[in-house]
């Protein structure tokens, strides 16, 4: 079931287009991330969905009802910002219960809901402290608890972990995913971090210059990009030029089966870790140009004719620059991108 639907959103400032015909849908109980660099329009989308700013064109639907003209407080949507924005004079428990208090919820119900969230976020021992007495990660847990308190139909999150160090960011991401799955939350999550997006998301919309370049499941956008630009924005990859003829892709690397693919110029695309290392042979050998350690992983730069392949492996290699390796191209991993002619 669709929880959120956005159609034809456009927004400009001073004749500069910030959003261009934005369309996407978010399924109920899913985490949908909007991935892109700073200035791509991610936060503008959240502000329009929440009602903080109006769109020039387009509509926003929540549970099938258009909410484009409703005031922010009439939409019932929770918003978690990059900064926790907690009330400094209130305790943790009062910060969490604030939204319920202004809705005139009975004190007993507020106390029960706050206690439930304190336990869920594992911050029970912080309930009587004020924001300046707890860490940044703890403050963000409180901000999430405050967003959950009113049981909103939709939660918007604008890079909520970007100010945290790497380990804490990973911890908070794991916590958020657990809560999202456990409670069936519907979340639109804005980030510029590729790994964060891939780990957390059910669906991804990749943005650049105010446009959505591609959307779909995290795996599909990562492993099956629709263009070299999209592939590059999603991380390192191998783009092998060639020609599709009669269900076969022909290139400088050789020929590969391409069943069902229309004839014409195309690229074969593979991520570095999708290539498997094999013993070299007369017709399957690539020279190692460079070896780069990447923590537990090793990246190999392999030369072929006028091109270069990137290969990531966890194998303990004894090979050195100048040595030769063979490669396997698993057929189920091959992705072809047609080129405009």
Q: Report in angstroms the alpha-carbon separations of 192 from 40, 43, 171.
A: 10, 11, 18
Of 228, 247, 276, the domain-final residue: 228
**Residue 98 and residue 143: Cα distance in Å, rounded?**
11
From 199, 228, 257, the end of a domain falls on: 228
Q: In the structure, what pLDDT confidence band is assigned to residue 85 with cuts at 50, 70 and 90? A: very high
Average pLDDT along the chain: 93
- Check whether residue 131 and residue 196 sit in a common domain: yes
Report the pLDDT value the prediction gives residue 248, as an integer from 0 to 100: 94
Q: Are 79 and 166 part of one and the same domain? A: yes
Query: Tokens at residue 229, please?
Result: 């630009």
> For the residues 159-175, what does the mean pLDDT come to?
92
Say whether pLDDT at 84 is over 80: yes
Which has more pLDDT, 338 or 249?
249
Cα–Cα distance, 51 to 71 (Å, whole number): 6
Higher pLDDT, 305 or 62: 62
Cα–Cα distance between 95 and 143 in angstroms, integer?
8
- pLDDT given at position 103: 92
Are 176 and 209 members of one domain? yes
192 and 107: one domain? yes
pLDDT at 67: 97
- Whether residues 78 and 192 share a domain: the answer is yes
Q: Tell me, what's the pLDDT at 340?
A: 67
The pTM of the whole model exceeds 0.85: yes
Q: Domain range for residue 11?
A: 2-228
- Among residues of the chain, what percentage have pLDDT more than 70? 99
Name 44's Cβ contacts closer than 8 Å, sequence gap at least 6: 11, 18, 19, 53
Mean pLDDT computed over 255-271: 93
The phi and psi torsions of 232 (rounded to 5 degrees) equal -65, -40
Q: Could you tell me if 224 and 242 lie in one domain? A: no
Write the CATH number for 199: 3.40.50.300
Structural Rg of the chain based on CA atoms: 24
Do 186 and 114 belong to one domain? yes
Could you tell me the CATH number of the domain that includes residue 278? 2.40.50.140
- Same structural domain, 155 and 77: yes
Task: Compute the average pLDDT of residues 151-173.
Answer: 93
Same domain, 172 and 273: no
- In this structure, the answer to whether residues 122 and 256 fall within a common structural domain is no
pLDDT band at residue 317 using 50, 70 and 90 as cut-offs? confident
Q: Which of 211, 228, 245 is the last residue of a domain?
A: 228
Q: What is the DSSP string of 63-94?
A: TTEE-TTS-HHHHT-EEE-SS----TTS-HHH
Judge if 111 and 147 occupy the same domain.
yes
Query: pLDDT tens across 182-213, in order?
Result: 999 999 999 999 999 999 999 999 999 999 99
- Pair 202, 254 in one domain: no
pLDDT for 31 equals: 97
Q: State how many domains the chain has.
A: 2
């Amino acid at each position: 079931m669709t929880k959120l639907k956005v159609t034809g959103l456009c927004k400009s400032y001073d004749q500069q287009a910030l959003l261009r015909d934005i369309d996407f849908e978010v399924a109920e109980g899913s985490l949908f991330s909007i991935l892109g660099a700073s200035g791509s329009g991610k936060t503008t989308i959240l502000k329009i969905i929440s009602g903080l700013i109006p769109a020039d064109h387009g509509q926003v639907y929540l549970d099938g009802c258009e909410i484009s003209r409703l005031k922010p407080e009439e939409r019932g949507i929770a918003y978690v910002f990059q900064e926790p924005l907690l009330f400094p004079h209130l305790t943790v428990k009062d910060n969490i219960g604030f939204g319920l208090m202004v809705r005139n919820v009975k004190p007993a119900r507020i106390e029960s809901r706050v206690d439930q969230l304190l336990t869920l976020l594992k911050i029970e021992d912080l309930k009587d402290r004020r924001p300046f007495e707890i860490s940044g990660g703890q403050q963000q847990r409180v901000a999430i608890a405050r967003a959950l308190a009113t049981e909103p139909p939709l939660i918007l999150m604008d890079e909520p972990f970007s100010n945290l160090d790497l380990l804490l960011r990973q911890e908070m991401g794991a916590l958020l995913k657990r809560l999202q799955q456990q409670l069936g939350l519907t979340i639109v999550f804005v980030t510029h971090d590729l790994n964060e997006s891939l780990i957390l998301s059910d669906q991804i919309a990749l943005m650049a210059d105010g446009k959505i370049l591609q959307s779909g499941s995290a795996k599909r956008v990562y492993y099956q990009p629709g263009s070299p630009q999209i592939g590059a924005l999603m991380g390192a990859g191998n783009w092998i030029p060639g020609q599709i003829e009669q269900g076969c892709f022909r290139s400088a690397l050789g020929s590969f089966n391409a069943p069902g693919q229309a004839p014409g110029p195309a690229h074969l695309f593979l991520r570095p870790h999708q290539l498997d290392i094999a013993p070299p042979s007369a017709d399957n050998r690539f020279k190692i140009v460079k070896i780069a350690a990447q923590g537990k992983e090793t990246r190999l730069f392999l030369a072929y004719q006028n091109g270069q392949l990137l290969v990531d492996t966890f194998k303990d290699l004894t090979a050195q620059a100048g040595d030769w390796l063979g490669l396997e191209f698993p057929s189920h991993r091959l992705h072809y991108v047609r080129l405009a002619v």
